[in-house]
């Protein structure tokens, strides 16, 4: 029988773990109108919603 890491994601009570792989971090750079400095906006969104975030719809 093979070993399983204690940190491995396993199914528990009918739920399948590992849903975090569907989430991604999106970093958008913007320019401040007052100072001209760059602002970095970070969001964690579902991978299917990335294009909506980049277009500014969400």
Q: Which DSSP letter does residue 19 get?
A: G
Please tell me the distance from the alpha carbon of residue 23 to that of residue 17, in angstroms, as a whole number.
13
pTM to 2 decimal places: 0.55
Q: Which domain holds residue 27?
A: 19-55
- Per the structure, how many domains does the chain have? 1
Structure tokens at 28: 């958008």
10 domain-assigned: no
Specify if 3 maps to a domain: no
Is 25 a domain residue?
A: yes
Q: How does residue 12 score in pLDDT terms, banded at 50, 70 and 90? A: low
User: What's the pLDDT tens digit per position in 17-50?
Assistant: 555 688 999 998 899 999 999 999 899 999 899 8
CA distance 1 to 55: 50
- Tell me, yes or no, whether 8 lies in a domain: no
- CB distance 52 to 30 below 8 Å: no
């Amino acid at each position: 029988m093979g070993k399983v890491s204690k940190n491995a994601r396993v199914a528990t009570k009918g739920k399948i773990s590992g849903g975090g792989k569907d989430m991604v971090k999106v970093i958008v750079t913007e320019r401040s109108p007052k100072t001209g400095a760059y602002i970095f906006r970070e969001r964690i969104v579902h991978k299917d919603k990335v294009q909506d975030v980049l277009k500014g719809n969400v």
